[in-house]
Amino acid sequence: MTTASEVETATNEAPRERGRLVYRQRLATRITHWLWAVTLFFMLLSGLQIFMARPDLYIGQQSGFGFDNAVLSIGARKVGGEVQGVTTLFGTSYDTTGWLGRVAEGDRFANKSFPGWLTIPGYRDLATGRVVHFFFAWVLVATLLAWLAASLANGHLRELLPTGRDVRHLPRDVADHLRLRFAHDGRYNVLQKLSYAGVLFVAMPLIVLTGLTMSPGAVAKLPFLLDLFGGRQTARTIHFLVMFALVLFFIVHVLMVVLAGPLNELRSMITGWYRTDPEHRP
């Protein structure tokens, strides 16, 4: 015979109500998302390989020993009879031995801008790095254009553009994220819209255009690029900074996926289906 306490225990242990699965991510969005992940990975590591050929960033049209316009330099120098890795940022030098300028390779140290695990290839090979970088650069351009065309056709683009209502709710959304309170309603919140729009409509076009500005062949056909970015060296610096911003976005993006529920988020980006909270059933 079931007692009242047993009935109460069974009620308390009943499975929680689950939200409904909604189709959140279209096929074109999922394909381009994973293509971008692979493409940007190879572009980052091959880009660092190219950067090692001249590990300095400048502002302006020209660079060299006769100019004092460097904003970043990575190298190695002797300090007190010992070789150290040195990174100079806006005229201030920092000891970065083991990380930048002088890195560990096996059981010894080498004068090298980055460790081998951060570059493609892992050894010094500018030619191969350029081939890999340029190949995936064109994959990035093609994928971006394909995503834009598909998003215009299927209405996904409208879902990413912040509205006036979104902007008004921005303070509340920021506060919810700081408290790690995430709404699983199948829609993009305003922080997601702003960050995704920034990546897709600002960062990626910038990375492409500054890359073209560094190419003498592209500039010969599109000379306005030099004026647009204030010179080839400035374009190179912007290119590097946008890459750094994309790395930061990736770190925050992965962190948010983990905090918001990785299984649900990954399922939506693999299958398209997303489970909402019970109170947010459509």
85, pLDDT greater than 90: yes
Q: Contact 206/242 with Cβ under 8 angstroms?
A: yes
Residue 106: what pLDDT? 82
4, pLDDT greater than 70: no
The mean pLDDT value for 153-161 works out to 89
248, pLDDT greater than 80: yes
Residue 184: what pLDDT? 83
279, pLDDT greater than 60: yes
Largest CA distance in the chain: 94
Q: At what angle do helices 190-198 and 170-178 cross, to 10 degrees?
A: 100
2, pLDDT greater than 60: no
* Tokens 């919810």, located at residue: 176
The mean pLDDT value for 109-130 works out to 94
The mean pLDDT value for 156-175 works out to 88
Amino acid type, 142: A
pLDDT range class, residue 86, cuts 50, 70, 90: very high
pLDDT range class, residue 15, cuts 50, 70, 90: very low
The mean pLDDT value for 24-38 works out to 94
The mean pLDDT value for 231-259 works out to 94
Classify each residue of 250-259 as buried b or exposed e, where b means 16 or more C-beta atoms within 10 Å of its C-beta: eeebeebeee
Domains (range + CATH), the chain: 19-52+119-280 (1.20.950.20), 55-118 (no CATH)
Query: What percentage of the chain reaches a pLDDT higher than 90?
Result: 65
Residue 63: what pLDDT? 55
- How far apart, in whole angstroms, are the C-alpha atoms of residue 101 and residue 56? 11
Beta strands in the chain (DSSP E): 21-23, 56-58, 70-79, 82-89, 92-95, 102-105, 108-111, 273-275
9, pLDDT greater than 60: no
The mean pLDDT value for 68-72 works out to 84
What is the pTM (predicted TM-score) of this model? Answer: 0.85
Query: What percentage of the chain reaches a pLDDT higher than 70?
Result: 89
Mean pLDDT of the chain, nearest integer: 88
**Tokens found for residue 195:** 């960050």
Residue 64: what pLDDT? 54
Among 195, 193, 114, residue whose Cα is nearest residue 156 = 193
- C-alpha torsion 49→55→61→63, nearest 10: -140
Least confident of 32-46, 57-71, 189-203, 244-258: 57-71
60, pLDDT greater than 80: no
Instruction: Please give, one letter per residue, the 3-state secondary structure of 46-100.
Output: HHHHHHCCCCEEECCCCCCCCCCCEEEEEEEEEECCEEEEEEEECCEEEECCCCC
Instruction: Report CA Rg, the chain.
Output: 24
